Structure 1
Amino acid sequence: MWVKVIKVHELGGPEVLSWEEVEIGDPKEGEIRIKNKAGVNYVDIYYRTGLHRAPLPFIPGKEAVGVVSAVGPGVTSFKVGDVVSYADNPMGSYAEEQIIPASVAIPIPPAIDYKTAASVLLKGMTAYVLVRQAFKVQRGHTVLVHAAAAGVGSLLCQWANALGATVIGTVSTEEKVGQATQDGCRHVIVYTKEDFVTRVAEITSGEGVHVVYDAVGKDTFQVQTRPSYSVSLFSFLDGVFLWNLKSTMNYQLCFT
């Protein structure tokens, strides 16, 4: 069968995304075919621009929700018509239909709509690892979230707030302050207009925070945690790693 896909034949900006048809077959042993509703993530840009490598040509997309349209031999966990989601691997969700291993599919409850399921699984798993594994946020902690109005940042703020932490969020523009506040930030700092290091010191009476979640990188990376606490660095939006790690010897760094 033939399906429409978005394909990348050369690295570059959005103009390299090509809308075309490809032929896909039936699922093999242990595989299922799903009709995709693709999630869009910043990591897709990394692959399109070449910051992350993938053999050319490739179909981008690391996340989708869809209806199972066919099952391969040996698959007993799903049937045609089931609604499933997956995130991370295999890449290729920018396609009307896609074949994936049944082992990576997650059943989606009827109460969760397609748009929600397609947009939060990858970001939600990232947020889970950050607040429950990289550093276990607890009531009484003070948490600093950079890019607080972004996809993962928004979930981090909501989750940390629900766990009883005091959340400080940084955003790049005034327009994002309302979103960060709505997501649970008690304090919001526009880091392009004020020195967030000074503001964090003021908010915490000079003690610093228990954990910093930084997805931005060179524009925001300065250690604001209490000694022996944690800085979690993930998915740098600028793709640049420029600091001297010797300056962070008294801190716990977690790269995700």
Structure 2
Amino acid sequence: MPLAIAITGPGSPETMTLVDLAASEPGPAQARIRQSISGVNFVDIYVRSGLYPLPPGQTVLGFEGAGVVEAVGSGVEGLSVGDRVAYVGHPLGSYAEVRTLPASRLVRLPDGVSERLAGSTMLRGLTAHMLLHKVHPLQPGEWVLVHAAAGGIGQIVTRWAKRLGANVIGTVGSEAKAGFAYEAGADAVLLHNSEDWVEETRRIADRRGVHFAIDGIGGAMLSQTLATVRPFGIVASLGQAAGPIPPIQIEELTAPRAIGLARPSVLTYANDPGLYRQGAEALMAELQAGLINPIGAEYALKDAASAHADLEAGRTTASVVLTM
């Protein structure tokens, strides 16, 4: 019987356990796939810990993966048994060897894009597309601040922003991670725990500040990030790996700053059929054209708890994946 990783309830990685999960026949407009890879993302940690509640009856984690179509239900068009596919978004359940899900969620993989690459890139790649084309349509020559630039989202956002002609300032938590951010293309890399990183960011960015700042750290960092942005720029708050974000007063955004603050959600983005297809098509085109998304850590499905512990503790760089 196929295996999956389920949780017994919200809590630490120890709540994750390997279980048998019977493969179900696809119903109308559904397809069943045998997976080769699943991405591991911070949003999975938020779900596991209880910050984001699981839907009733759902116990298997994971929002993205890739594999091969095994069966299709009635009414499915454009997909055939044997097609290589990838996906991101609801319903949860990618930590599994086999799963059945809506056929509309599946994206056929073009030549030159492997299941391994696509299955580890869908969530981060769609996040990058959302940020750089929807939240702030990036223009050549603009300055972007990317926190956690050695991480999975940080690296792909940096690489894509550079392909669009932007200048990127990355921040990292240690000197050991700076090389990963430079390798991704960052023009400058700063330690976000240094005393002068805000002033240094503004100095590098034409002594005015960046046009766009992307903060996936959260906690007390967001308030500092607001100070790096030039007037009429924007900050995107993606997550809170460092803990809950203290309330932001509207006065922190008004003159003389005059900046915007967004809280975009890639899962909401993926739930919009038009945006999902647009973003997925753009991502596949970029991957075919050479956009890189390195895998920094790989775990067997049975070791998913270790993957969560390492990601949560900041011991990983680039993408983290489970292999089937």
Does TM, normalized by the shorter one, top 0.5?
Answer: yes
User: 1:78: Cα distance to partner?
Assistant: 1.0
Say which of 224, 233, 240 aligns to 1:236. Answer: 240
CA distance in structure 2 between the aligned counterparts of 1:201 and 1:20, rounded to whole angstroms: 51
User: 1:205: Cα distance to partner?
Assistant: 4.7
Verify the 8 A CA contact 1:32 1:99 in the aligned structure 2.
yes
The one-letter amino acid of 1:49's match is S
Which residue is equivalent to 1:11? 10
CA distance in structure 2 between the aligned counterparts of 1:58 and 1:23, rounded to whole angstroms: 14
1:96-130 deviation digits (Å, cap 9, x = unpaired) = 10001111110012311221111101110000010
Which residue is equivalent to 2:267? none
1:11-48 deviation digits (Å, cap 9, x = unpaired) = 11111111011223211111100001211111111111
Which residue is equivalent to 2:249? 245
User: 1:238: Cα distance to partner?
Assistant: 2.8
CA distance in structure 2 between the aligned counterparts of 1:25 and 1:163, rounded to whole angstroms: 43
Q: How does 1:109-148 map to 2 (within 5 A)?
A: 109-148=110-149
More moved, 190-199 vs 153-162: 190-199
Which residue is equivalent to 1:255? 263
Verify the 8 A CA contact 1:146 1:220 in the aligned structure 2.
no
The one-letter amino acid of 1:111's match is G
Verify the 8 A CA contact 2:170 2:186 in the aligned structure 1.
yes
Which residue is equivalent to 1:157? 158
Structure with the larger helix share: 2
The one-letter amino acid of 1:254's match is A
The one-letter amino acid of 1:31's match is Q
CA distance in structure 1 between the aligned counterparts of 2:159 and 2:21, rounded to whole angstroms: 40
Verify the 8 A CA contact 2:28 2:75 in the aligned structure 1.
yes
Which residue is equivalent to 2:179? 178
Q: CA RMSD in A?
A: 1.4
1:120-145 deviation digits (Å, cap 9, x = unpaired) = 01110000010111011111211111
Matched residue SS, 1:26: coil
Equivalenced residue count is: 255
Larger radius of gyration: 1
Gaps of 5+ in 2: 265-324
Verify the 8 A CA contact 2:202 2:229 in the aligned structure 1.
no
User: 1:219: Cα distance to partner?
Assistant: 3.8
Cα 1:56/1:192, change in 2 over 3 Å: farther
Verify the 8 A CA contact 2:238 2:263 in the aligned structure 1.
yes
Matched residue SS, 1:177: helix
The one-letter amino acid of 2:29's match is G
1:123-172 deviation digits (Å, cap 9, x = unpaired) = 10000010111011111211111111111111111111121111111100
Q: How does 1:96-111 map to 2 (within 5 A)?
A: 96-111=97-112
Verify the 8 A CA contact 2:215 2:236 in the aligned structure 1.
yes
Which residue is equivalent to 1:44? 44
CA distance in structure 2 between the aligned counterparts of 1:200 and 1:160, rounded to whole angstroms: 17
Cα 1:30/1:57, change in 2 over 3 Å: closer
CA distance in structure 1 between the aligned counterparts of 2:213 and 2:117, rounded to whole angstroms: 27
Higher relative contact order (CA 8 A, sep 6+): 2
Matched residue SS, 2:43: helix
Which residue is equivalent to 2:307? none
Matched residue SS, 1:39: strand
1:67-113 deviation digits (Å, cap 9, x = unpaired) = 01111112132111111111011100111100011111100123112
CA distance in structure 2 between the aligned counterparts of 1:52 and 1:146, rounded to whole angstroms: 22
CA distance in structure 2 between the aligned counterparts of 1:218 and 1:44, rounded to whole angstroms: 18
- TM normalised by structure 1 equals 0.95
The one-letter amino acid of 1:58's match is T
Verify the 8 A CA contact 1:32 1:72 in the aligned structure 2.
yes
More moved, 217-226 vs 116-125: 217-226
1:206-255 deviation digits (Å, cap 9, x = unpaired) = 31111111111124222111111111111232341214232113211111
User: 1:56: Cα distance to partner?
Assistant: 5.5
Q: Percentage identity across aligned positions?
A: 36
CA distance in structure 1 between the aligned counterparts of 2:19 and 2:108, rounded to whole angstroms: 29
Matched residue SS, 1:123: helix
Verify the 8 A CA contact 2:215 2:237 in the aligned structure 1.
yes
Which residue is equivalent to 1:22? 21
Verify the 8 A CA contact 1:8 1:57 in the aligned structure 2.
no
The one-letter amino acid of 2:185's match is G
Matched residue SS, 1:94: coil
The one-letter amino acid of 1:241's match is I
